Chains A and B, each alone.
Chain A
Amino acid sequence: MTVSSSIPLLIISGAACLALLLAVVPHAALRRMGPSAVGGLGIFAALVVCVARWGDRTVGYAGNVYEDRLSLLISILVLLAAGATIALSLREPASVDRRGEYVGLVLLSTAGMILTAQASDLIVIFLGIELLSVALYVLCALEVWRSRSLEAGLKYLITGAVGASVLLYGLAFLYGATGSTALADIGAKLGDVTLTSDPLVTAAMVLIVAGLAFKASAAPFHMWAPDVYEGAPTPITAFMATATKVAAFAAFLRIFVGTLPAGRDDWRVIIAMVAAASILIGNIAALRQQNVKRMLAYSGVAQAGYLLIGVAAGSVVGTRATLYYLIAYVAMTLGMFAIVVHREREVEDGDDVDAYRGYGRARPAMGIAGTICLLSLAGFPPLAGFVGKFLLFGAAVDHDLVWLAIVGAVGSILSLGYYLRLVAVMWMDDPKRADARHLPVPGAVGAVAISCAVAVVALALAAAGVLDAAGGAAETLLSP
């Protein structure tokens, strides 16, 4: 019963409550600025704690939560994404006069993600995922005066509820097959049997894959993602695209790699199938998108496929690759969304591809940052996306999934069609509309974009340190 193992969670929950309370203070300026400040401070404090507590596994709360390198790594990632989201939302319409609720919900969702990352119990996993989802349902629909925002919220809610039910049913089967909700017990019980020897576990596995794939927006459970990403307020989209995916992969890793390593050969096939489908469908569908957020949604589907390659490998090597790529993915995607947020403020329909004509020339710093992120997403060296793909393909080859690596390569080729199209539009086309407002780049958005670009480069150049961290997390995950 150690409280210390979930200090970040407590800090974030507390910050969320404080932010919500600040929503009702009469002082207008405090109401406006307070929640963001509280959120920022809370996130910073939680980050500090996470970094400070980097170390071996501790088990807290009767085995409900772990605090280990994996959870800390994921928490750091999620917290960074949350911080970026709050920074991006500073002037977002949905958040302007309800800053407290907005920040509070973001923080609560973050808490759900941290919980998912720390979970050592089926119930906690489910609850964490639901906490993050429910908060996101609201955040998606927060611009209630915009029908698209509402549509996004409702679609997310309905598909999300079905997905959650599927996941729940899978978890129930897993529970039924083993008689325990604790991952450690489940692992011990299934440690020496392959999954296919018990059809109940097979069924559970299929359903859990489906449920988590939904959260990670992997094909064919991804179909909500483009609609929701497009409809939701852009900072929230950024949050969903990054943090949610991180949490979903944390759950993937915990359940499959961490708990069921013995059945690796069985679930590998299923996850590899999902990965391949995601890579192909995501990349192909993204090719024809005219809306950048939608395009990034499909790109996110494809990236989920890449991330799943490492999961499918199911080893330290694979986990390390997935974790590294998650970090890289968060940086590049957030950077791109920061660009979209900025552009949306400058022009009408700022999420349309045509809105980016000549963007790079007009705003070189943002343009270069965006280009770096896009090139990294496309897997160009020497950027983080390349190193990630390199590791993922390596993991695939290492586990005789060469075909999956080839699918990944083919997908990357396809992805050039849209990433580079955007790059081309940014630099090679002349600005179409003269009515673009040339506002100064807001500091927060610019900072997010540029620090993401810097991170994308730094992650590749200083890969050794990041890989050590990811490797450490992977080893803790797999060590009994």
Chain B
Amino acid sequence: MVPLWMFLTAAAGLFAIGAYGVLSRRNAVAILMSVELMLNAVNINLVAFWRFQTPMDMSGQAFAAFVFVVAAAEAAVGLAIIISVYRGRRSVTVDDVDLLRW
């Protein structure tokens, strides 16, 4: 059986890579992809602790399902904002979008 700390280190690594992606990329869509990675890391942790601590009850899987909902809603609305920003400003690099009103 793969021990718990292996899953946690892998999830921490994924979370760190996602954080690096968010902080360093210029393109808004790439930033959103990295946010998806971070959400996945959270999901791995949730399910890992559920499997090792309390596999009998349902809290782990239910929480992971709700993380799916939030991630899907966030991706949908985030990409819609990026598309309308692109329509207004013809560019998606995050540095150009600096004025509060365009």
A binds B: no
